[in-house]
Amino acid sequence: MYKLSYVAIAAFLAVAPATAKADQTPIAGHTVLGVQVNVESVVTTGYSANRLIGATVFNSDKKEVGRIHDLIVSTDGQVNLAIVEVGGFIGIGSKYVAIPARLFKEGVKQSVLLPGASEAELKKMPPFQYAG
Protein backbone atom coordinates (compact mmCIF):
# COMPACT_ATOMS: atom_id res chain seq x y z
CA MET A 1 0.00 0.00 0.00
CA TYR A 2 2.79 2.43 0.93
CA LYS A 3 6.04 2.14 -0.98
CA LEU A 4 8.94 2.85 1.36
CA SER A 5 12.19 4.40 0.21
CA TYR A 6 14.00 4.32 3.54
CA VAL A 7 14.96 8.01 3.72
CA ALA A 8 13.68 9.93 6.85
CA ILE A 9 14.91 8.94 10.51
CA ALA A 10 17.00 12.08 10.79
CA ALA A 11 14.11 14.23 9.58
CA PHE A 12 11.74 12.71 12.09
CA LEU A 13 14.27 12.71 14.88
CA ALA A 14 14.99 16.36 14.18
CA VAL A 15 11.38 17.25 14.98
CA ALA A 16 10.87 14.76 17.79
CA PRO A 17 10.29 15.79 21.41
CA ALA A 18 13.23 17.50 23.04
CA THR A 19 12.77 15.34 26.12
CA ALA A 20 13.64 12.31 24.04
CA LYS A 21 17.24 13.47 23.70
CA ALA A 22 19.81 10.98 24.91
CA ASP A 23 20.87 11.56 28.49
CA GLN A 24 24.21 9.76 28.26
CA THR A 25 27.63 11.32 28.39
CA PRO A 26 28.91 11.80 24.84
CA ILE A 27 31.66 9.51 23.56
CA ALA A 28 34.41 10.75 21.25
CA GLY A 29 34.32 9.83 17.55
CA HIS A 30 35.73 6.49 16.41
CA THR A 31 35.73 4.18 13.40
CA VAL A 32 33.20 1.36 13.18
CA LEU A 33 33.28 -1.04 10.22
CA GLY A 34 35.48 1.37 8.33
CA VAL A 35 33.16 4.36 8.87
CA GLN A 36 34.05 7.32 11.08
CA VAL A 37 31.32 7.79 13.68
CA ASN A 38 31.05 10.95 15.77
CA VAL A 39 29.01 9.53 18.64
CA GLU A 40 29.21 12.80 20.57
CA SER A 41 27.41 14.66 17.78
CA VAL A 42 24.77 11.96 17.36
CA VAL A 43 24.06 11.67 21.10
CA THR A 44 23.77 15.41 21.66
CA THR A 45 21.58 16.14 18.61
CA GLY A 46 19.63 12.90 18.18
CA TYR A 47 16.60 11.34 19.82
CA SER A 48 15.88 7.90 21.19
CA ALA A 49 13.39 5.88 19.13
CA ASN A 50 12.42 4.14 22.38
CA ARG A 51 11.09 7.43 23.69
CA LEU A 52 9.37 8.41 20.44
CA ILE A 53 7.45 5.16 20.14
CA GLY A 54 4.42 5.57 22.37
CA ALA A 55 4.60 9.37 22.25
CA THR A 56 1.25 11.14 22.16
CA VAL A 57 0.41 12.97 18.91
CA PHE A 58 -1.40 16.29 19.37
CA ASN A 59 -2.83 18.62 16.74
CA SER A 60 -2.47 22.41 16.63
CA ASP A 61 -5.46 22.75 18.99
CA LYS A 62 -3.65 20.65 21.62
CA LYS A 63 -6.12 17.78 21.14
CA GLU A 64 -4.77 14.25 21.24
CA VAL A 65 -5.18 12.57 17.85
CA GLY A 66 -3.17 9.38 18.35
CA ARG A 67 0.04 7.75 19.53
CA ILE A 68 3.19 6.81 17.67
CA HIS A 69 3.17 3.03 17.34
CA ASP A 70 6.23 2.54 15.14
CA LEU A 71 8.82 4.28 12.97
CA ILE A 72 9.68 3.07 9.48
CA VAL A 73 13.45 3.40 9.07
CA SER A 74 15.26 3.35 5.74
CA THR A 75 18.41 1.46 4.93
CA ASP A 76 20.27 4.78 4.91
CA GLY A 77 19.16 5.58 8.47
CA GLN A 78 16.30 7.95 7.75
CA VAL A 79 12.76 7.79 9.13
CA ASN A 80 10.19 7.91 6.33
CA LEU A 81 6.99 7.26 8.19
CA ALA A 82 5.56 7.33 11.65
CA ILE A 83 2.91 4.68 12.15
CA VAL A 84 0.23 6.33 14.28
CA GLU A 85 -2.45 4.45 16.19
CA VAL A 86 -5.78 6.30 16.00
CA GLY A 87 -9.22 5.71 17.44
CA GLY A 88 -10.29 2.99 19.78
CA PHE A 89 -9.93 2.65 23.49
CA ILE A 90 -6.87 0.97 25.05
CA GLY A 91 -6.04 -0.54 21.68
CA ILE A 92 -9.50 -1.97 20.94
CA GLY A 93 -11.10 -0.65 17.76
CA SER A 94 -8.05 1.37 16.77
CA LYS A 95 -6.13 1.27 13.51
CA TYR A 96 -2.70 2.25 12.29
CA VAL A 97 -2.09 4.92 9.68
CA ALA A 98 1.17 5.98 8.05
CA ILE A 99 2.08 9.65 8.34
CA PRO A 100 5.13 11.08 6.55
CA ALA A 101 7.66 11.93 9.23
CA ARG A 102 8.33 15.36 7.74
CA LEU A 103 4.84 16.52 8.77
CA PHE A 104 5.57 16.31 12.50
CA LYS A 105 6.79 19.19 14.64
CA GLU A 106 8.48 19.10 18.00
CA GLY A 107 6.14 18.69 20.96
CA VAL A 108 6.66 18.89 24.69
CA LYS A 109 7.57 16.05 27.02
CA GLN A 110 6.49 12.70 25.50
CA SER A 111 4.57 14.19 22.58
CA VAL A 112 4.85 15.38 19.01
CA LEU A 113 2.74 17.87 17.10
CA LEU A 114 0.93 17.08 13.85
CA PRO A 115 -0.39 20.47 12.74
CA GLY A 116 -3.84 20.52 11.17
CA ALA A 117 -4.65 16.91 12.00
CA SER A 118 -7.82 15.67 13.61
CA GLU A 119 -8.65 12.21 14.86
CA ALA A 120 -11.60 12.10 12.42
CA GLU A 121 -9.32 12.88 9.45
CA LEU A 122 -6.77 10.29 10.53
CA LYS A 123 -9.50 7.66 10.90
CA LYS A 124 -10.48 8.29 7.25
CA MET A 125 -7.00 7.32 6.07
CA PRO A 126 -6.42 3.84 4.70
CA PRO A 127 -5.06 1.45 7.31
CA PHE A 128 -1.33 0.78 7.28
CA GLN A 129 -0.39 -2.88 6.84
CA TYR A 130 3.05 -4.28 7.39
CA ALA A 131 4.53 -6.20 4.43
CA GLY A 132 4.86 -9.97 4.89
pLDDT digits (tens, 9 = 90+) for 67-105: 999 999 888 888 889 999 998 777 678 999 999 988 988
Q: Are strands 56-58 and 111-113 parallel, antiparallel or unpaired?
A: parallel
Q: How many other C-beta atoms lie within 10 A of the C-beta of residue 18?
A: 10
pLDDT exceeds 90 at position 107:
no
Q: Of the candidates 103, 107, 102, 109, which has an alpha carbon nearest to the alpha carbon of residue 121?
A: 103
Predicted TM-score of the model (pTM): 0.64
* pLDDT > 70: percent of the chain: 62
User: Considering only CA atoms, which of 13, 9, 3, 123 is closest in space to residue 66?
Assistant: 123
Tally of residues, the chain: 132
